[in-house]
C-alpha cells in the first residue's frame, strides 16, 4: 500500500510489514523481528517495537504527558463510577493523536500490578491463534526507566493448561499494542509491575473456555498471595476503535467527508453505550464480539476495532473475577482528527496524516466493582 497513509495502515494490517518470503518460510525468527524494532530487545529486556509517533526518550515522554493535559478534553459520556475500578479499556494508537485518551483511560489505574491485555495484529505471520501469548522477559524497557514483569506471571502460567498459551519472545517483540500503555503506566507510577498477555484470533466458544481458566488461575494466585483485584491488581485492555477509510478497506458510509465521519463516530459511541455500559454479562461480551467479527469465521471483521478479541476476552475474565454485579462505564471517546495536533520540541515524529478520509477512533471505558 502506497501513499502517506501507509505507515498507520501497515501497523493495523501488521503482517504486511513482514516480507512475503517469510510467510512461505514460516514464522519470522527472533533475530528478524528484533532487527525491525525501534529499540531491539535483549535476552533480559524487552525493547520497543514502534518508535514512530511514540516516545522513545524520557524527554519525549515528559513532553507527551504534559501536552496530554491540555484542552480540549476528550468527549465524555457522563458516566458515574461508584465502586472500585478493576480495569480499563485504553487505545494504543500514536501518542501524537491519542495522548489525551491515554490520560483519560488510565486515570484510575494505580495498582502495583497491572495485567495488560493486548492485541496480536500479526497472528497470521506467526501462525498463532486460539491460545494466549505471554512474554518471557523479566522486564520491559520504557522511555523513562525499565518496568519489571510481575512474578504473578509465572504463578499464573503454572496453573494454566499448556494448550492454553504459548510463551513467545518474538511474538511480543513484533507487537505494538501493549508497549504504549506500559510506558504511560510507568511514567505515572514508576514502581508499577506488569503482566502482559496477547489475545489473537479465536472463536467465541474458545474465548469463553480460555477466559474461564485464565480467570480461575488468576483468582487462585491472588487469593494465595493475599492480593485484591482493584486494590493490588488491575487490568487494562488495549483497543483502538474504528479504522475508517478506503485504505483500511472499511468505508460503509462513503469514502470520507463530514457525513461519513459523523456516522462512523456515532457507530463507535453506540457500541460503547450498548456493550461497555451497565452490567457486564456474557451476553454483552458475545454481542460485542459478533458486532466486530463474523462469529462463523472470526478472521473476517465486521467493524475494524483492534480489540475485537481482547476486549470481549477481558469482559469475560473480569466478570468471572468480580461476579455478576460487574459494571462497565464508558469514560470517553475521541478520534485522530477531533483534537488539535500538539507541537513537540522533543516529542514523537509524525506518522500518517489523519483526515476525514482516513481516521481512527479511540475508546476509553472502565470496569467497576459492584
User: How far is the C-alpha of 226 from the C-alpha of 90, rounded, in Å?
Assistant: 27
If pLDDT is split at 50, 70 and 90, which confidence band does 350 have? low
Strand partners, 238: 90
- Indicate the SS3 state at residue 137: coil
Mean pLDDT across the chain, nearest whole number?
92
pLDDT above 60 (res 4): no
- Supply 297's cell numbers: 469465521
Closest CA to 321 of 277, 274, 370: 370
The tally of CA atoms less than 13 A away on the side-chain side of residue 4 is 9
Closest CA to 131 of 164, 158, 160: 164
The arithmetic mean of pLDDT across residues 54-61, rounded, is 95
- Domain borders along the chain are 6-368
Lowest-pLDDT range of 149-163, 252-266, 335-349: 335-349
Does 96 or 18 have the greater pLDDT score? Answer: 96
The answer to whether 194 and 185 have CB atoms below 8 angstroms apart is yes
Q: What percent of the chain has pLDDT over 70?
A: 90
Question: Who contacts 315 (Cβ-Cβ below 8 Å, separation ≥6)?
Answer: 280, 284, 285, 288, 328, 367
The answer to whether 130 and 20 have CB atoms below 8 angstroms apart is no
Q: What percent of the chain has pLDDT over 90?
A: 84
Q: Which CATH number fits domain 6-368: 2.60.40.10, 3.40.30.10, 3.40.50.300, 3.40.830.10?
A: 3.40.830.10
Amino acid at each position: 500500500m502506497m501513499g502517506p497513509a501507509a505507515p498507520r495502515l501497515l501497523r493495523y494490517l501488521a503482517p504486511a510489514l513482514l516480507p512475503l518470503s517469510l510467510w512461505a518460510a514460516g514464522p519470522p525468527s527472533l533475530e528478524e523481528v528484533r532487527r525491525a524494532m525501534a529499540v531491539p530487545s535483549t535476552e533480559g529486556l524487552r525493547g520497543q517495537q514502534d518508535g514512530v509517533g511514540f516516545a522513545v526518550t524520557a524527554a519525549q515522554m515528559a513532553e507527551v504527558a504534559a501536552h496530554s493535559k491540555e484542552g480540549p478534553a476528550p468527549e465524555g459520556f457522563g458516566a458515574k463510577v461508584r465502586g472500585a475500578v478493576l480495569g480499563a479499556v485504553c487505545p494504543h494508537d500514536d501518542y501524537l493523536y491519542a495522548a489525551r485518551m491515554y490520560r483519560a483511560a488510565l486515570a484510575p489505574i494505580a495498582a502495583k500490578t497491572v495485567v495488560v491485555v493486548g492485541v496480536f495484529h500479526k497472528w497470521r505471520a506467526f501462525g498463532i491463534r486460539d491460545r494466549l501469548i505471554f512474554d518471557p522477559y523479566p522486564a520491559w524497557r520504557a522511555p523513562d526507566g525499565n518496568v519489571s514483569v510481575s512474578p504473578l506471571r509465572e504463578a499464573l502460567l503454572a496453573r494454566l493448561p499448556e494448550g492454553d498459551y504459548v510463551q513467545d519472545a518474538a511474538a511480543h517483540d513484533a507487537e505494538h499494542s501493549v508497549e504504549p500503555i506500559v510506558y504511560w503506566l510507568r511514567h505515572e507510577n514508576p514502581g508499577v509491575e506488569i503482566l502482559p498477555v496477547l489475545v489473537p484470533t479465536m472463536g467465541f466458544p474458545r474465548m469463553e473456555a480460555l477466559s474461564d481458566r485464565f480467570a480461575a488461575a488468576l483468582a487462585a494466585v491472588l487469593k494465595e498471595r493475599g492480593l485484591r483485584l482493584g486494590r493490588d491488581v488491575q487490568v487494562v485492555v488495549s483497543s483502538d476503535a474504528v479504522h475508517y477509510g478506503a485504505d483500511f478497506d472499511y468505508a460503509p458510509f462513503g469514502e470520507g467527508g463530514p457525513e461519513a465521519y459523523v456516522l462512523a463516530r456515532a457507530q463507535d459511541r453506540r457500541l460503547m453505550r450498548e456493550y461497555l455500559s451497565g452490567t457486564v454479562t456474557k451476553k454483552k461480551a458475545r454481542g460485542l464480539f459478533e458486532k466486530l467479527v463474523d462469529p462463523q469465521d472470526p478472521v473476517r471483521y465486521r467493524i475494524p476495532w483492534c480489540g475485537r478479541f481482547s476486549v470481549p476476552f477481558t469482559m469475560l475474565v473480569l466478570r468471572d473475577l468480580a461476579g455478576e454485579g460487574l459494571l462497565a462505564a464508558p469514560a470517553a471517546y475521541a478520534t485522530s482528527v477531533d483534537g488539535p495536533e500538539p507541537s513537540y520540541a522533543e516529542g514523537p515524529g509524525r506518522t500518517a496524516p489523519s483526515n476525514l478520509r482516513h481516521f481512527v477512533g479511540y475508546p476509553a471505558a472502565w470496569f467497576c466493582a459492584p
